[in-house]
Structure 1
Amino acid sequence: MRRAKISIIGAGNVGATCAHWCAVEQLGDIVLLDIPGDMADMPRGKALDLMESSPIFGFDSNIVGTNDYADTADSDVVVITAGIARKPGMSRDDLLATNAKIMGLVCEQVKKTSPNAVVIVVSNPLDAMVQRALQVTGFPPERVIGQAGVLDTARYRTFIAMELGVSVEDVSALLMGGHGDTMVPLASCTSVGGIPVSQLIKPERLEEIIDRARKGGAEIVGLLKTGSAYYAPAGATAQMVEAVIRDKKRLIPCAAYCDKEYGVGGFYVGVPVIVGTGGIEKIVELDLNETEQAAFKKSVDAVKELVGAMAKLV
Structure 2
Amino acid sequence: MRRAKITIVGAGNVGATCAHWAASKELGDIVLLDIPEVNDPKDPTKKIPNTMPAGKALDLYEASPVEGFDSRITGVTDYAATKDSDVVIVTAGIPRKPGMSRDDLIAINTGIVKSVCENVAKTSPNAVIIVVSNPLDAMVYVAWKASGFPTHRVIGQAGVLDAARYRSFLAEEVGCSVEDVQALLLGGHGDDMVPLKRYTSAGGIPITQLVKADRLEEIIKRARNGGAEIVNLLKTGSAYYAPAAATVQMAEAIIKDKKRILPCAAYCDKEFGIGGFFVGVPCVLGTKGVEKVIEIELDADEKKMFQTSVDHVKELVAAVKL
Q: What residue number does 2:43 align with?
A: none
Q: What residue number does 2:26 align with?
A: 26
Q: CA deviation at 1:95?
A: 2.5
SS of residue matched to 1:310: coil
* Residue identity opposite 2:252 in structure 1: E
User: What is the distance in 2 between the residues matched to 1:249 and 1:100?
Assistant: 31
% identical equivalent positions: 69
User: What is the distance in 2 between the residues matched to 1:86 and 1:222?
Assistant: 14
Q: What residue number does 1:213 align with?
A: 223
TM-score (norm 1): 0.97
Contact 1:86 1:221 in 2 (8 A): no
Q: CA deviation at 1:210?
A: 0.5
Q: CA deviation at 1:310?
A: 1.3
Q: What residue number does 2:285 align with?
A: 275
Contact 2:103 2:319 in 1 (8 A): no
SS of residue matched to 1:181: helix
Q: What residue number does 1:67 align with?
A: 77
* Residue identity opposite 2:31 in structure 1: V
2:142 to 124, 127, 132: 132
Q: CA deviation at 1:86?
A: 4.0
Please say if 1:9 is aligned against 2:19. no
Gap change, CA 1:303 and 1:143, over 3 Å in 2: same
Q: What residue number does 2:200 align with?
A: 190
Q: CA deviation at 1:92?
A: 7.0
Contact 1:271 1:284 in 2 (8 A): yes
Q: CA deviation at 1:85?
A: 2.4
User: What is the distance in 1 between the residues matched to 2:122 and 2:264?
Assistant: 25
Please say if 1:168 is aligned against 2:178. yes
Please say if 1:83 is aligned against 2:93. yes
Q: CA deviation at 1:89?
A: 8.2
Q: What residue number does 1:42 align with?
A: 52
Q: What residue number does 2:275 align with?
A: 265
Contact 1:152 1:214 in 2 (8 A): yes
Please say if 1:58 is aligned against 2:68. yes
Give the paired residue count.
312
Q: CA deviation at 1:282?
A: 0.4
Contact 1:86 1:227 in 2 (8 A): no
Correspondence 1:293-304 to 2 at 5 A: 293-304=303-314
Please say if 1:233 is aligned against 2:243. yes
User: What is the distance in 1 between the residues matched to 2:262 and 2:310?
Assistant: 19
Q: CA deviation at 1:164?
A: 1.5
Contact 2:32 2:53 in 1 (8 A): yes
Contact 1:118 1:278 in 2 (8 A): yes
Contact 1:87 1:225 in 2 (8 A): no
Contact 2:187 2:309 in 1 (8 A): yes
Contact 2:157 2:246 in 1 (8 A): yes
Q: What residue number does 1:145 align with?
A: 155
- Structure 2, unmatched stretches of 5+, are 39-48
Q: What residue number does 2:232 align with?
A: 222
User: What is the distance in 1 between the residues matched to 2:192 and 2:28?
Assistant: 35
Mean alpha-carbon deviation: is it higher for 92-101 or for 57-66? 92-101
Q: For residues 68-90 of structure 1, give each alpha carbon's deviation from its aligned partner in whole angstroms, at most 9, with x where no partner exists.
A: 00000000000000001245787
* Residue identity opposite 1:49 in structure 2: D
TM-score (norm 2): 0.94
Q: What residue number does 1:105 align with?
A: 115
Contact 1:131 1:307 in 2 (8 A): yes
Contact 1:30 1:64 in 2 (8 A): yes
User: What is the distance in 2 between the residues matched to 1:166 and 1:90?
Assistant: 41
User: What is the distance in 2 between the residues matched to 1:153 and 1:52?
Assistant: 33
RMSD of aligned C-alpha atoms?
1.3
SS of residue matched to 2:192: coil
User: What is the distance in 1 between the residues matched to 2:102 and 2:61?
Assistant: 33
